[in-house]
């Protein structure tokens, strides 16, 4: 049950109550925006709570976060799956590219911290985090800045990144090279790029700052490099059928000397860990709880 109400948070709607589990949509206010999450509450004492973060331009209602929350609730663990706002008020569902993109990679850190503070205000003292894909890099970045606020870090198919690979992928799909776009941005960093492809959005409006954050080395987007400095116990889950796994494994040397990192390969899982592969992840996570 909610233990207190954060002063800027409204419990918007109780959707479902069965036995000792309650699902609730939570709307909070962050930097003038309504931001949304789904809370799974249990009545089983002082178990740690899990904060769950989605991948690129996704949301808390997509298949993987929902499956993770259901599995945790079945074991009596509360969880909060959040949707990053990307600067959009009351965002719900997958990101609508028609509205343009003005929020960059690094903006997630402060927004994650807002939700961690929310959980602390509810009285939770042990907060573990789970993040998928690009969210894995963002959560790893968060952990480096706020290691005192979380107990464990669990990353599912976290992204890896390099300037070279980013340039090669972009150039293969566009007539204007990535170097040319970044040069235009350097000449006018306050501009809006029109009819611009960014991430999975095609021919949308994107701020120069947002574009640069996704396609330049700053902020750090390469999870293997971030893991080298992580200060909390961390597990990384990779799928053997995920085409991104070999690229991640190729950089294992960046974090192999960090004793806090455990790498777990889930056989036959793809990037989204559908069906029973999510069960394997939660089973492993719960075995690692202190």
Q: What is the 3-state secondary structure (H, E, C) of the chain?
A: CCCCCCCCEEEEEEEEEECCEEEEEEEEEECCEEEEEEEEEECCCCCCEEEEECCCCCCCCCHHHHHHHHHHHHCCCCEEEECCCCCCCCCCCCCCHHHCECCCHHHHHHHHHHHHHHHHHCCCCCEEEEEECHHHHHHHHHHHHCHHHCCEEEEECCCCCCHHHHHHHHHHHCCCCHHHHHHHHHHCCCCEEEEEEECCEEEEEEEHHHHHHHHCCCCCCCHHHHHCCCCCEEEEEEECCCCCHHHHHCCHHHCCCCCCEEEEEECCCCCCCCCCHHHHHHHHHHHCCC
- Sign, Cα dihedral of 229, 233, 239, 240: positive
Measured CA to CA, the distance from residue 182 to residue 186 in angstroms comes to: 6
The domain total for the chain is 2
Measured CA to CA, the distance from residue 20 to residue 41 in angstroms comes to: 8
Residues 203 and 61 in one domain: no
Residues 96 and 209 in one domain: no
Examine residue 146 and state whether it is found in any structural domain, yes or no: yes
Q: Which domain holds residue 174?
A: 162-217
Residues 128 and 183 in one domain: no
Residues 81 and 198 in one domain: no
Residues 99 and 29 in one domain: yes
Residues 254 and 127 in one domain: yes
Residues 238 and 257 in one domain: yes
Examine residue 1 and state whether it is found in any structural domain, yes or no: no
Residues 175 and 283 in one domain: no
Examine residue 129 and state whether it is found in any structural domain, yes or no: yes
Q: Which of the residues in the chain have pLDDT under 50? A: 1-20
Examine residue 112 and state whether it is found in any structural domain, yes or no: yes
Domain boundary among 217, 236, 252: 217
Examine residue 3 and state whether it is found in any structural domain, yes or no: no
Domain boundary among 189, 217, 245: 217
Residues 260 and 128 in one domain: yes
Q: What is the pLDDT of residue 290?
A: 64
Residues 16 and 89 in one domain: yes
Examine residue 25 and state whether it is found in any structural domain, yes or no: yes
Residues 146 and 276 in one domain: yes
């Amino acid at each position: 049950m909610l233990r207190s109400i954060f002063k800027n948070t409204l419990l918007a709607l109780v959707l479902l109550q069965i036995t000792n589990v309650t699902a609730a949509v939570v709307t909070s206010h962050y930097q003038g925006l309504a931001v949304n999450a789904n809370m799974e509450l249990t009545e089983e004492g002082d178990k740690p709570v899990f904060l769950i973060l989605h991948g690129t331009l996704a949301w808390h209602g997509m298949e993987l976060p929902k499956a993770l929350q259901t599995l945790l609730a079945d074991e009596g663990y509360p969880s909060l799956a959040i949707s990053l706002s990307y600067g959009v008020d009351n965002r719900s569902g997958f990101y609508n590219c028609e509205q343009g993109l003005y929020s960059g990679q690094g903006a997630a850190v402060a927004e994650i911290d807002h939700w961690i503070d929310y959980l602390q205000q509810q009285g939770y003292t042990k907060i573990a985090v789970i993040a998928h894909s690009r969210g894995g890099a963002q959560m790893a970045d968060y952990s480096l800045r706020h290691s005192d606020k979380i107990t464990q870090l669990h990353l599912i198919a976290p992204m890896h990144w390099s300037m070279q690979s980013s340039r090669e992928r972009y150039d293969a799909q566009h007539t204007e090279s990535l170097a040319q776009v970044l040069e235009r941005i350097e000449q006018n960093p306050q501009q809006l790029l029109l009819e611009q492809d960014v991430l999975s959005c095609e021919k949308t409006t994107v701020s120069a700052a947002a574009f640069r954050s996704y396609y330049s080395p700053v902020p750090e987007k390469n999870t293997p490099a971030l893991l080298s400095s992580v200060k909390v116990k961390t597990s990384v889950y990779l799928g053997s059928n995920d085409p991104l796994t070999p690229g991640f494994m190729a950089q294992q040397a960046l974090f192999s000397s960090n004793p806090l990192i455990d790498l777990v390969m889930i056989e036959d899982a793809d990037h989204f860990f559908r069906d029973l592969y999510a069960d394997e992840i939660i089973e492993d996570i719960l075995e690692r709880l202190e």
